[in-house]
């Protein structure tokens, strides 16, 4: 029996690894998954010599090694693993994942084989011994070293694939002491389990690879595919029955509100009847939010911690011209009001530290934050109904924004090595202390509707006075925020006042 080893450097519930493993097992192959789980900044730490040796020993007799790269942040470790394994094992090593699909020829610099599309059938045919030039969706180097990218096959019917459960029976945790069987060493992080009802995103934001993925799969079938409610509930029933310390679920659709009203109602009714675990978050785009859908969600009885609604920028110009996600400010505020009035907590993703923003853009953003606070302060609902979650603007190769920033010389040629390989978008670094971070911090204090909220709200209103804003922008007092946070006791106090500083975002 042919044996494939999947190496997972991301979170344990990595959808790519789950789908590949379940599919290859259904084809009759032996599949092992080795997890080296890394969250937050830990993804930038290389593996130790001992860990690499353990990997090589396990892979020594296998027939194929697959490495999934979810983001560019994971590239250094994937390169390290590949370079270590190649001279020590006979099996070919294949890479896949969104960055690889966006630019397969580029990634052939680091490995011999990559998936230029979905990887299930590519890996199946490699294990069957099909010649590389006959495998649709495979990219490789010719005998002369020239990249060859085979045409992609049609998109898979997700409802004909095996249910992508986390493989506890044939999974391992990579530790310094060796490989630990996942079934008997389930980490604490698996108290949360992620599922999808919709595979694929219909939006084409300029900072995201999705526009390139949609182009790659054009005319290959539906890109956004809905998974049947029955399949999702069956997977969740398995997770609830099998994972001993499961406490909550993440429904990780790019936009949960893409589901029609009847489908949403059907899913939530069955979820509450069969599963009824708290849901950490759902994600939504205001384009799809309607009063009827909000009411279905609120009336379902679901214990939902957050509804994550992307904003990215409160500037109309930046939203449309830079991010390719037009903002209707009035419609956005109306949708927030709908959600807040149904006592659903909202987490709003924003992007700051943007060199394309003018002072006028930044002032417009602050005024929009104040508009949101007006809704918050005027609502007699839950405490802290809205939280801003701040991200640093980062540029990922393969995205339209990366190409634009390179052309405009906002980032240097070594940006990937010096930035993407060193930090995530989380604004927890010393260099992130600026006025953008200060304004977000003040917003979150004010939105909490508790201690110091009125004072924070007043400060923001004062900052919004145009001459004051202009003066503060030049003085940049926010740059001292990191220094202030280092004062004994101050950091702990601020974290109590600003809950988002202690929120752990799933990477």
Q: May I ask the CATH class of domain 182-502?
A: alpha beta
Average model confidence (pLDDT) for the chain?
A: 92
Residue 460 has pLDDT above 90, yes or no: yes
What is the average pLDDT across 154-167? 96
Write down the H helix ranges in 182-323.
Answer: 210-216, 229-242, 261-274, 291-299, 316-317
What mean pLDDT is predicted for residues 416-424? 92
Sheet holding 147-149, edge to edge: 147-149, 138-141, 113-115, 93-96, 64-68, 3-8, 30-35, 171-175, 178-181
229-258: pLDDT as tens digits: 999 999 999 999 999 999 999 999 999 999
pLDDT score, position 479: 74
169: number of CA atoms within 13 Å, CB side? 6
Residue 321: per-residue pLDDT: 97
**Please, is 401 exposed, middle or buried when counting C-beta atoms within 10 Å of its C-beta (0-12, 13-18, 19+)?**
buried
CA dist 378 → 1, 181, 337, 375 (Å):
65, 53, 10, 5
Average pLDDT over residues 142-152: 94
Tens-place pLDDT, residues 256-280: 999 999 999 999 999 999 999 999 9
Q: Decide: helix, strand or coil at residue 64.
A: strand
Of the ranges 39-53, 339-353, 368-382, the best mean pLDDT one:
339-353
Q: What is the pLDDT of residue 501?
A: 45
Query: With pLDDT > 90 as the criterion, what percentage of the chain qualifies?
Result: 82
CA 120 to chain centre: 21
Would you say the C-alpha torsion 7, 9, 10, 11 has a positive or negative sign?
Answer: positive
User: For position 500, what pLDDT does the model report?
Assistant: 47
CA distance 193 to 239: 8
Q: Which helix (H) or strand (E) holds 3?
A: strand 3-8
What is the residue extent of each domain of the chain?
A: 3-178, 182-502
What average pLDDT does this structure show over 362-375? 97
DSSP state of 47: P
Q: How confident is the model at residue 191 (pLDDT cuts 50, 70, 90)?
A: very high
**What confidence score (pLDDT) does residue 505 get?**
37
**Quick check: 167 pLDDT over 80?**
yes
Strand partners, 4: 31, 64
pLDDT confidence bin for 366, thresholds 50/70/90: very high
54-105 pLDDT, tens per residue? 999 999 999 999 999 999 999 999 999 999 999 999 999 999 999 999 999 9
State the average pLDDT over residues 6-24: 93
Give the CATH architecture of domain 3-178: 3-Layer(aba) Sandwich (3.40)
Q: 458: alpha, beta or left, given left = phi > 0 and alpha = psi -120 to 50?
A: alpha
What confidence tier does 484 reach under pLDDT thresholds 50, 70, 90? Answer: low
Residue 493 confidence (pLDDT): 56
Of the candidates 329, 330, 341, 331, the one whose C-alpha atom is nearest the C-alpha of residue 378 is 341
Q: What 3-state DSSP class applies to 97?
A: coil
Whether the predicted pLDDT of 491 surpasses 60: no
- pLDDT above 70 covers a percentage of the chain that reads 93
- Residue whose C-alpha is closest to residue 290's, from 253, 350, 334: 334
Q: How many CA atoms lie within 13 A of 14 on its CB side?
A: 28
């Amino acid at each position: 029996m042919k044996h494939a080893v999947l190496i997972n450097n991301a979170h344990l519930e990595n959808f790519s690894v789950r789908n590949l493993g379940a599919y290859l097992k259904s084809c009759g192959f032996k599949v092992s998954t080795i997890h080296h789980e890394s969250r937050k900044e830990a993804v930038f730490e290389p593996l130790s010599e001992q860990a690499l040796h353990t990997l090589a020993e396990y892979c020594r007799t296998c027939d194929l090694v697959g490495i999934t790269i979810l983001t560019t942040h994971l590239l250094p470790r994937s390169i390290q693993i590949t370079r270590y394994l190649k001279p020590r094992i006979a099996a070919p090593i294949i890479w896949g994942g969104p960055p690889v699909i966006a630019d397969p020829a580029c990634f052939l610099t680091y490995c011999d084989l990559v998936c230029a599309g979905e990887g299930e059938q590519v890996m199946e045919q490699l294990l069957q011994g099909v010649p590389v030039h006959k495998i649709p969706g495979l990219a490789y180097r010719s005998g002369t070293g020239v990249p060859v990218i085979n045409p992609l096959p049609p998109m898979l019917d997700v409802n004909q694939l095996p249910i992508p459960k986390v493989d506890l029976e044939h999974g391992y945790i990579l530790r310094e002491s060796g490989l630990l069987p996942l079934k008997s060493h389930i980490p604490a992080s698996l108290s949360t389990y992620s599922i999808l009802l919709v595979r694929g995103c219909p939006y084409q934001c300029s900072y995201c690879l999705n526009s390139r993925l949609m182009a790659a799969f054009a005319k290959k079938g539906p890109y956004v595919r809905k998974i049947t409610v029955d399949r999702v509930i069956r997977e969740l029933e398995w997770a609830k029955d099998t994972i001993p310390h499961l406490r909550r679920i993440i429904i990780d659709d790019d936009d949960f509100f893409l589901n029609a009203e009847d489908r949403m109602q059907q899913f939530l009714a069955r979820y509450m009847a069969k599963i009824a675990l708290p849901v950490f978050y759902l994600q939504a785009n205001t384009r799809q939010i309607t009063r009827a859908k909000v009411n279905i969600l609120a009336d379902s009885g679901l214990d939902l911690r957050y509804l994550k609604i992307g904003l990215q920028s409160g500037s109309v110009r930046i939203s449309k011209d830079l991010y390719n996600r037009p903002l209707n400010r009035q419609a956005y505020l109306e949708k927030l009001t709908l959600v807040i009035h149904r006592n659903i907590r909202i987490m709003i993703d924003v992007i700051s530290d943007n060199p394309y923003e003018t002072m006028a853009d930044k002032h417009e953003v602050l005024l929009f934050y104040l508009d949101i606070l007006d809704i918050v302060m005027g609502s007699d609902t839950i405490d802290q109904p809205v939280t801003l979650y701040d991200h640093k603007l980062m540029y990922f190769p393969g995205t339209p924004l990366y190409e634009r920033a390179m052309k405009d010389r906002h980032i240097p040629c070594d940006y990937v090595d010096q930035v993407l390989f060193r930090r995530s978008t989380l604004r927890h670094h010393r260099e992130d202390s600026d006025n953008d971070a200060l304004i977000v911090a003040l917003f979150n204090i004010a939105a909490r509707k508790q201690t110091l909220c009125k004072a924070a709200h007043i400060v923001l209103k004062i900052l919004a006075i145009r001459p004051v804003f202009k003066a503060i922008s030049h003085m940049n007092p926010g740059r001292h925020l990191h220094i202030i946070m280092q004062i004994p006791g101050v950091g702990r106090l601020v974290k109590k006042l600003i809950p988002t500083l202690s929120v752990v975002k799933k990477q």
